Amino acid sequence: MTVHGGYFCNGEGLKKERCMHDQRKYRRVKYREDWAATAPCSSTRPTASTARRSSPPNVTLRPSAFKAINAIRALLQRACGGPVVSCADIAALAARDSVHLAGGPRYAVPLGRRDGLAPASLDTILGALPPPTSKVPVLLSFLAKIGPNAAGLVALSGAHTLGIAHCGSFEERLFPKDDPTMDKFFAGHLKLTCPRLKVDNFTANDIRTPDVFDNKFYVDLLNRQGLFTSDQDLHTDAKTKPMVTRFAVDQAAFFDQFVKSMVKMGQINVLTGNQGQIRTDCSVPNAARSAGDELPWSVVETAVESLVL
């Protein structure tokens, strides 16, 4: 079954008008969706878990992002007559729409995920998220555990065309001396924001078009202006350099591979049926479930959203 224009809100049919209204609302919400998306989908990102929220990869996520996901959930729950849309599906759709609103591609998102029964542990988070100081061999070894290949690594890293980074995530490239793989003028520019170690300032990931989802991230790499070691090494390593060069001159090729990789990544460790739940609060798992207190499906177990362009 395919959802047309909104969500499948009950067992009989589609409450199209209300659901489309709420879909337009959450499409206006933009939140930071980056490398942490590679963590298993058995637990959604918006959670009050101390381990998840305070873990090094997630500590700089904006509180407004978590509030936005919960606000979307509340709107959909009221419109659809109950908890029928999982927080995991909302996060996947919000990520897609954030990319599109910033100028990137729009693509169909497979639906039917359920939310985790418990928050992810700190070990699970750190085991799925390589640090920004990693080089390509380490990144590929992380990804080998969950699916994406070298092409996926390069394309998904392109999400750094948006967002910001705090000094601590790249300061090792500036102190005690400049990383030789970094353009010296770019290093000087960064030191205006990060004049010494342990400064909690931030800068844009993409120096050229920081608020647009495009291929300029790869142009940055060609000019040795990648912010993270994990980014710049994509242009240094022989396995990934050809794709960086291609994406820098062919935005359509980047968009195509990004879509393929995002859809694939969004289906990693997905929970369905009795493996998970539809949370009534995205921040925490449901305290207890009794028979009949939630519907036995997420959106549509095997549905793929039908795009309304």
Residue 203 β-bridge partners: 165
189 is in an annotated binding site: no
Please name the helix (run of DSSP H) or strand (run of DSSP E) that holds residue 257, with its range, or none: helix 251-265
> Helix 16-27 vs helix 63-80: angle between axes, to the nearest 10 degrees?
170
Nearest CA among 40, 16, 26 for reference residue 100: 26
229 marked among binding-site residues: no
**In this structure, what DSSP letter does residue 264 have?**
H
Q: How many helices (H) and strands (E) does the chain have?
A: 12, 4
233 is in an annotated binding site: no
- 206 assigned to a ligand binding site: yes
Distance of alpha carbon 98 from alpha carbon 201, whole angstroms: 24
Tell me how far CA of residue 20 lies from CA of 8, 69, 83, 96, in angstroms. 11, 17, 16, 16
Only one residue has tokens 């999982």, namely 86
Q: Is 209 among the annotated ligand-binding positions?
A: yes
Is 161 annotated among the ligand-binding residues?
yes
Which residues line the annotated binding site for Ca(2+)? 161, 206, 209, 214
Which residues line the annotated binding site? 130, 160-161, 206, 209, 214
Which residues line the annotated binding site for substrate? 130
Which residues line the annotated binding site for heme b? 160
